[in-house]
Chains A and B, each alone.
Chain A
Amino acid sequence: MRALLPFACATLSLCAQAPKPAVVFDEAFFAGDRRAILEGCADRARAIKPKDAMYLAECGRAYLAAMDLPRATEAFKEAESREAKDGQVLRLIAQAWLRHGYKSEALEGYEKIAVRDPKNKEALAQTAVDLAEVGLANESERYMGLVASLDKDGWERFLAFGRALLVAGQRKKAAAWFARAAALKPNEEKLFLGMARAFAETQSLM
C-alpha cells in the first residue's frame, strides 16, 4: 500500500500538469455552452495578438460576458496600462462595463476619457451615444456638450446622438440635436435622409 502511494501521487501530479485538450472549433462547439465559446474565442484572439490594447479591451468584454470577472478585470487593466491616454481604448473598456450592468465602473471609465484624452471628439461622441442608448440622458448630454464645444460643425455626431436619444424615447432632447444639425447643414441630403430613417425606424417605439 505504501509503495503505491508515491506512484498515485506522481500520477495525480502528471494529470494536473497535462495540457487541457485542444478545443475543436467545429459546429458542435459553437452550438454548445455560451461561456465556453466566449472564453475559447477570446483566448484564441489573445494568443494571436496579446499586446494590442484594443483587442485586450474587447477580450475583456468577452470574459465579462462569460462572467469571468477576474480575467476581464485583468485584460482591462493590461489594456489600460498599454494605452492609458487612448480615448478609444478607454471607451471600449467603459462600454464593456456598461453593457454588462456595471454602471459605476462604466461611468468611472467614461470619465477617464474626458480627463486623459479630452480632445478626442470621436470617443467622447461615442460615449454620449452609449450613455443615451441605455437611458442615461443627462450624463450623455454632458459628454455631447463637450463634443459640441470641440466641434461646433459636427452635424454627423449631432445626428447620431439625436438618433440614440430618439431610440431611448427622449423625443424632446432628440429634437434639440436634430434642429441643431439641420441649422448647421440645411442643404445636406445625408442629414435629412438620416433623420428620415431615424424617425421611420423608431416609430414603433413612440
Chain B
Amino acid sequence: MRRLARCLLALPLCSQALFCQALDEASFRGDARKLAGACADRARLLRPKDAKMLAEYGRAFLAAGEKAKAEDCFQLARIEKPKDADVHRLIAVAYLRSNFRAEGLKAIADMQVADPKDKNAFTRAAVNLQDAGLPKEADALMERAWILDPSDWQNCVAYGRSCLRRGHRDSAAKWFARASQAKPQEERMWNALALAYADHGAEPS
C-alpha cells in the first residue's frame, strides 16, 4: 500500500522530468498548438494556484483547442480571486481571442460586477473588446472607466490607440481630445499622442 502511495506521489514528478527531457530545440519546432498546450501544462505544474496565471494557462489551452482544460483553469481562477476584476478580464481575453464571443462578453459582465470601480481593468478590457472587433461594447465600457476618473490621460491614450489601430479615427479623436484636456502641461501625454499616430495605433513595444 505504501509502495503504491509512493508511486502515485512520484507520478507528477515523473511527468515533469519527462517533459524536461523533451524540451530540446527539436521539440520547439513541433506543432504550435500542441506546444502551446504543453508549455501551459508545464507552467501549471510549477505554479498551480495563482489566479491570474490560471487564467493565462486557460488562454493557452483554449488556443490549443483544449476547451475543457481551459474552463477548468478559468473556474479555479474565479474561485481563487472572485473579486479581482483583472482575473475576469483575462478570462474574457482568452475567450475573445479564440472567437468565443458570448463567453467573452459574459466574463466582461462578471468583471464589472466583481469590482465596479476598477477603472484600469475596465480600460484594459475596453482595449481588448476593441481589438476583438466589438467597438460598441468597447466604447460603453471605456465611457464607464472615464466617468470613474476623467483626469486619467494614460487610459484615454491607451484606448484611443486601440481605436486608431482598428481604423476608428473619429472615436480615437474623441479620446485623444479628452486626454489632452485632462493634462495639457504633461509632456509625456503629448509624446504619447504623437507616437500613437506615428505607429498608426499599433500596440506599443
Contacts and interface: CB of A to CB of B under 8 A. Distances in A.
B47 A38 contact: no
Interface in B31-68: 32-33, 35-37, 39-40, 42-44, 46-47, 53, 56-57, 59-60, 63-64
Contacts of B105: none
Interface string B163-176: 00000011011101
Contact of B194 (A38, A130, A175, A186): A38
21 contacts: A25-B181, A25-B184, A27-B174, A30-B176, A31-B173, A42-B191, A61-B198, A62-B194, A65-B197, A99-B198, A175-B25, A175-B27, A175-B28, A175-B29, A189-B42, A192-B40, A193-B39, A196-B39, A197-B60, A199-B32, A199-B63
B29 A201 contact: no
Contacts, number: 153
Interface size class of chain A, counting residues whose CB lies under 8 Å from the partner chain? 35 or more
B173 A189 contact: no
Nearest to B30: A175
Interface of A: 25-31, 34, 37-38, 41-42, 44-45, 48-49, 55, 58-59, 61-62, 64-65, 99, 129-130, 133, 171-172, 174-176, 178-179, 182-183, 186-193, 195-197, 199-203, 206
Contacts of A130: 205
Given A29-B177, A175-B28, A203-B32, A186 B43 contact: no
A193 B197 contact: no
Contacts of A189: 42-44, 46-47, 53
Given A174-B28, A193-B56, A26 B64 contact: no
B39 A199 contact: yes
B177 to A, nearest CB: 4
Contacts of B64: 200
B39 A202 contact: no
Given A30-B176, A182-B23, A192-B43, A199 B197 contact: no
Given A55-B191, A175-B27, A195-B35, 7 more contacts: A38-B198, A41-B194, A65-B197, A192-B39, A195-B39, A197-B59, A199-B63
B56 A199 contact: no
Contacts of A193: 39-40, 43, 53, 56-57, 60
